[in-house]
Amino acid sequence: MSTPNLEKFEIRAQAAEDDIELLKKEIAHFNELLQLNATNTDKLSDHLEVLNVNVCENFSDEIEKLQQENAKLKHRVNILLRTIESQRGNNSASTSNMNVLISISEELNNIFEKAINSAFPEIPDPPIVITPAGNPKFGDYQCNSVMPLRKILEEQGKKLSPQEIANEIVTKYTSSSLIEKLEIAKAGFINIFLKREFGVKTLTNLVKSGKVLPPNCRKKKIVIDFSSPNIAKEMHVGHLRSTIIGDSIARLLEYLGHNVLRINHIGDWGTQFGMLIAHLQDKFPDYLKVSPPISDLQSFYKESKKRFDEEQEFKIRAYNCVVKLQAFDPDIIKGWQLICDVSRKEFQNLYSRLDIRLIERGESFYQKRMETLVKELDGRGFLEEDEGRKIMWGENPGNGIPLTIVKSDGGFTYDTSDMAAVKQRVEEERADWLIYVTDAGQSVHFQTIESCAKKCSLLTSRHRMSHVGFGVVLGEDKKKFKTRSGETVKLSDLLDEGLNRALQKLKEKERDKILTSDELKKAQESIAYGCIKYADLCHNRNLEYVFSFDKMLEDKGNTAVYLLYALTRIRSIARTANVTREQLLNSMETESITLNHEKEWKLGKILLRFTDILFKITNDLCLHSLCEYCYEIACAFTEFYDKCYCVEKNKAGEIVKINMGRLMLAEATAMILEQCFALLGLKPVEKM
């Protein structure tokens, strides 16, 4: 960028920051007025109880006026806050690459919010309802604010028909580079038709940039807690969903530019380690020098649990080992570390295969922090004695189940470590948003953790806490997924089976005769691990799903195989035409993406929704929306490719014409699909 242009951007950026500071001061002023009005309202309410009826009526009128004024002030504050975010976004966009796919829904929301505020200024914070149109005959999007506005106006004593309200909104609408036209339907719905020129410009810039850049959004520090296996136990199918869902959410948030800390909150502390070490002292006396393999450790753990339940002398020894562990006895700690190291290596092997990144923060990490937390909660009066335990209620005491912070024997619980984790993540990591990815059965636990954390002000209004729950994995018999012998399926065995099935599928298609050994191996891993991930992510996480290798390896329908193949085919079009990326970019000096044909425009509009899909997932953390979006792209591309020739050949198979505008559209499609795959953790290959 030239120096004069850079100076202009710097001046604009500084001006925007100055505007933000002024808006902040105005918000502070309005908040003071809100507080003053609230105080006055409280005082007047107190007076109502002691004054006579006539005076009460006067004060009631005054209170109503103050409440109306408060509503208007709150509305003004909301507008100012949105303006600040808009200024920040504009400032960011003006000083960085402009080739970003905007959120069409947010842009339309802003356009119609302005029009509705202008048409009906008497309605504070009016409802803005923008939805994609179900039928292209009725536009690309719809503004469905008319009916809720009609209800509000009726409550204010104004009777207007839906048509009259819609007409008033459209009258106040100012032209936009996004909108071709507006049409009012009979029921008052406003149909919105997008401009093709907007699509052409946006997608052409996307291809020119060579990268699908993330949209502008306010950056946060986010801690996401997922996977979380237990030391001395092998990872099994029960860890699959947390690991895959958590990784994909982390990928999406990292792509959006957030500072994401991926935490593996492993079970590496507590009574079970006292049991295991006491058992190893009897059965594996060399445990201080070398730890048994993970499979043996799991067997030893089961044996130790049986002895703990049945042998009183062993139970006492196990508790003594726990006391020594918590006191950091050198020998006990050494044995414990060796056990943890064996498990870590096993975990990491699986994480490497699935391309998962995590930072370990086991329960042991919070041991000292738990002691500090208990002292603080006790000192501040948040703990209650209950039959020898110390418990803590949430914001509504007596409702639900309290947390057990200290057991009757003085030990800590999962409740204690989870509260200590909240404190550490908020105070030490400075997190704005805490995300926990566990099975749906723990939802009540995390609701209680959040409620208690808010009660003692560990979490404040600026923090967000989300529990990402999920249903269990079922076998094809619709029962909990297990081996034929009734054992839990090991995750390593599941991945191995996936590799075997993927190779078998490739050989059935005789790909082993076309691909090199290296290409075949890459395709095998891409299909195996991609299918396992996608089969999980394409289902609504709140529901159970049936695990079936046969279905996930199908090359038709919404499967990873179909999508990976679709991308490979799209990428092959330019190669078949002998058009390099450099040639494609050179042609863009005189040509642009074409969206004239209805199938071109249909595909283009789907691609333009990319940012809306990401923002939706940021709100609900449900990744099946992204999978459905990928499938929608692939299907729309097939329709486009069938109707719109990118490369025309004669009967002899010779290329006679190349439509560069359509090749550009294919390139844009491939770029967005590749970015979606990266967020889902899929690894496409050049040849399949």
What is the pLDDT at residue 37?
Answer: 58
Catalogue the long-range contacts made by 444-448 (C-beta closer than 8 Å, 24 or more residues apart): 444/400, 444/401, 445/414, 445/415, 445/418, 446/418, 447/400, 448/394, 448/400, 448/401, 448/402, 448/403, 448/415
Burial class (CB in 10 A: 0-12, 13-18, 19+), 629: buried
Closest to 235 in 3D by CA, of 413, 354, 336, 333: 354
Contact 206, 212 (CB under 8 A): yes
All residues at 6 or more sequence positions from 457 whose CB lies less than 8 Å from its CB, including other chains: none
* Coil, helix or strand at residue 467: strand
Structure-block tokens of residue 443? 């939802």
Count CB neighbours of 543 within 10 A: 11
Whole-model pTM: value is 0.83
Q: Is the pLDDT of residue 561 over 60?
A: yes
Closest to 216 in 3D by CA, of 131, 83, 81, 91: 91
Q: Is the pLDDT of residue 597 over 90?
A: yes
Contact 112, 143 (CB under 8 A): yes
Burial 384-409 (b: 16+ CB within 10 A, else e): eeeeebbbbbbeeeeeeebbbbbeee
State the Cα–Cα distance between residues 16 and 19, nearest whole angstrom: 5
Burial class (CB in 10 A: 0-12, 13-18, 19+), 616: middle
pLDDT (tens digit per residue) in 461-508: 999 999 999 999 998 888 888 877 677 889 999 999 999 999 999 999
Contact 403, 370 (CB under 8 A): no
What is the pLDDT at residue 460?
Answer: 95
Contact 563, 634 (CB under 8 A): yes
State the Cα–Cα distance between residues 350 and 141, nearest whole angstrom: 44
* Coil, helix or strand at residue 482: strand
State the Cα–Cα distance between residues 90 and 16, nearest whole angstrom: 8
What is the pLDDT at residue 48?
Answer: 42
Q: Is the pLDDT of residue 52 over 70?
A: no
State the Cα–Cα distance between residues 631 and 570, nearest whole angstrom: 14
What is the pLDDT at residue 94?
Answer: 36
Pairing of strands 655-658, 473-474: unpaired
All residues at 6 or more sequence positions from 276 whose CB lies less than 8 Å from its CB, including other chains: 232, 297, 300, 301, 304, 339
pLDDT (tens digit per residue) in 248-266: 999 999 999 999 999 999 9
- Which segment of 74-88, 285-299, 368-382, 386-400 scores lowest on mean pLDDT? 74-88
Q: What are the strands of the beta sheet with 464-468, ordered from one edge?
A: 359-360, 259-264, 221-225, 433-437, 464-468
State the Cα–Cα distance between residues 500 and 406, nearest whole angstrom: 49
State the Cα–Cα distance between residues 189 and 148, nearest whole angstrom: 11
* Coil, helix or strand at residue 420: helix
- Which segment of 9-23, 101-115, 402-416 scores lowest on mean pLDDT? 9-23
Count CB neighbours of 635 within 10 A: 15
Contact 660, 582 (CB under 8 A): no
What is the pLDDT at residue 423?
Answer: 98
Contact 495, 244 (CB under 8 A): no
Identify the residue whose tokens are 């109503």. Answer: 64
The single-letter code of the amino acid at 11 is I
Q: Find how far residue 544's CA is from the centre of its chain.
A: 19
At residue 132, φ and ψ (nearest 5 deg) are -65, 145
Identify the residue whose tokens are 């395709």. Answer: 523
State the Cα–Cα distance between residues 212 and 679, nearest whole angstrom: 12
What is the pLDDT at residue 301?
Answer: 87
State the Cα–Cα distance between residues 260 and 239, nearest whole angstrom: 21
Helices (H) and strands (E) counted in the chain, each on its own, are 23, 16
pLDDT (tens digit per residue) in 261-296: 999 999 998 888 999 999 999 888 888 888 888 888
Q: Is the pLDDT of residue 353 over 70?
A: yes
Catalogue the long-range contacts made by 293-300 (C-beta closer than 8 Å, 24 or more residues apart): 293/342, 294/232, 294/234, 294/342, 294/343, 294/346, 295/234, 297/232, 297/233, 297/339, 297/342, 297/343, 298/232, 298/233, 298/234, 300/232, 300/276
Q: Which residue has the higher pLDDT, 61 or 343?
A: 343
Q: What average pLDDT is seen over the chain?
A: 87
pLDDT band at 54 (very low <50, low <70, confident <90, very high): very low
Q: What are the strands of the beta sheet with 190-194, ordered from one edge?
A: 130-132, 141-143, 190-194, 179-184
All residues at 6 or more sequence positions from 343 whose CB lies less than 8 Å from its CB, including other chains: 229, 231, 232, 233, 266, 294, 297
Contact 534, 354 (CB under 8 A): no
Q: Is the pLDDT of residue 133 over 70?
A: yes
What is the pLDDT at residue 475?
Answer: 87
All residues at 6 or more sequence positions from 425 whose CB lies less than 8 Å from its CB, including other chains: 223, 261, 263, 431, 434
Secondary structure in 3-state letters for 130-194: EEECCCHHHCCEEECCHHHHHHHHHHCCCCCCHHHHHHHHHHHCCCCCCEEEEEECCCCCEEEEE
Q: Is the pLDDT of residue 53 over 60?
A: no
Q: Is the pLDDT of residue 159 over 50?
A: yes
Q: What is the mean pLDDT of residues 424-438?
A: 97
Q: What's 267's DSSP letter?
A: B
State the Cα–Cα distance between residues 418 and 270, nearest whole angstrom: 14
* Coil, helix or strand at residue 464: strand
Structure-block tokens of residue 493? 């065995």
What is the pLDDT at residue 298?
Answer: 85
Structure-block tokens of residue 287? 């445990």
At residue 667, φ and ψ (nearest 5 deg) are -65, -45
Identify the residue whose tokens are 């299909």. Answer: 527
pLDDT band at 88 (very low <50, low <70, confident <90, very high): very low
